[in-house]
Structure 1
Amino acid sequence: MKTDGGGSMLAQPLQRPSGRRAAALLGLFLLGAVVALAGSLVQSGLFPGGLLLALVGAAGLFLGGARVTNSRGGAVAPAVGWTVTVILLTASRPEGDFLFGAGGGSYVFLLGGMALAVICATLGGGRQPGVDDVRLGK
């Protein structure tokens, strides 16, 4: 953060993400889609342990993405991929085929995964200095 000379802090302007960061976020988005697909198959097949496994896998991806990229965007990218994939999988097709049943476990997977995405994006560390001896309160 810069100061304006009078002691108040000025926010730095947003910058375009680097190529590596954009590739990492795109990879996390695609990984979120894969975890959603795998979770949708596991949660109904091995109920109730499969539901727990699918939600823990999603939470691990969301929080792990935030830790790896050291930003909340690392949790948001796989969460968006996960949510879009799950929503697309819940839509029924004209043939009558759909992947999710009408049971309570499907709703817990859908709503619980979305809640976990919000929680992990909130808990994901914001941008902080990497040095331990920096005073953040000043």
Structure 2
Amino acid sequence: MNDRHSTLAQPLRMPSAARIALHVLLFALGAVVGVAGSLVQAGWFPGGLLLALAGAAGLFLGASRATGSRGAAVASGAGWMIAVVLLTASRPEGDFMFAAGGGSYLFLLGGMAVAVICATLVQGRQPGGPAARLGK
């Protein structure tokens, strides 16, 4: 059997402890950006909404570009989304963070869209080697 094809049969390598710690840190940072964005977007509408979405986009895209993987954008986006969804739930006392206005819905849906866009913008790891064209 060819050596090149035998590497396909190898089990997947587990991520290192540093990569896991980085993703946990990015998850927590996403939650912090989500909480901060939820406070800013309601305070200075519409500029606060744009600022909150720009901050979230900066985190998602920066994390994915810095690590070179989509997992970093997904981890920070998941932290952002969980924090924002938890803030939308009302408490038994009747307190809530988000009002039922258009800005809150734009922040929630816009942030999710920004997370998906930033996660798909990063290019995955490409195999090394010379570039070749088929048919030559």
Does the alignment reach a TM-score above 0.5? yes
1:104 is matched with which residue: 85, 102, 106? 102
List runs of 5+ in structure 1 lacking aligned partners.
none
The structure-2 alpha-carbon separation of the partners of 1:105 and 1:135, relative to structure 1 and needing over 3 Å to count, comes to same
- Secondary structure of the residue aligned to 1:65 is helix
Pairwise mapping of residues 23-42 of structure 1 onto structure 2 (< 5 A)?
23-42=21-40
1:78 offset after TM fit, Å?
Answer: 0.2
Relative to total residues, which structure has the larger helix share, 1 or 2?
Answer: 2
Report if the CA contact (8 A) 1:66-1:125 is conserved.
no
Inter-partner Cα distance in structure 2 for 1:136 and 1:110? 44
Distance 1:74 1:136 in 2: 30
Determine what percentage of the aligned residue pairs are the same residue: 66
Q: Counterpart of 2:51?
A: 53
Partners of 1:90 and 1:136 in 2: CA distance: 52
Task: Give the gaps of 5 or more residues in structure 2.
Answer: none
**What is the aligned partner in structure 2 of residue 4 from structure 1?**
5
Deviations 1:3-45 (CA, angstroms, capped at 9, x unpaired):
328xxx8376421111111111111000000000000000010
How many corresponding residue pairs? 132
Deviates more, 1:40-49 or 1:13-22: 13-22
Query: CA offsets, 1:37-70, max 9 Å, x none?
Result: 0000000101000000000100110011101111
CA separation of 1:81 and 1:11: change in aligned 2, threshold 3 A: farther
Paired residue type of 1:79: G
Q: Determine the C-alpha separation between the residues in 2 that align with 1:81 and 1:12.
A: 32
Q: Note closer, same or farther for the CA distance 1:113–1:21 as it changes in structure 2 (3 Å cut).
A: same
TM-score (structure 2 length as normaliser): 0.88
- Correspondence 1:1-138 to 2 at 5 A: 3-4=4-5, 10=8, 13-128=11-126, 134-135=130-131
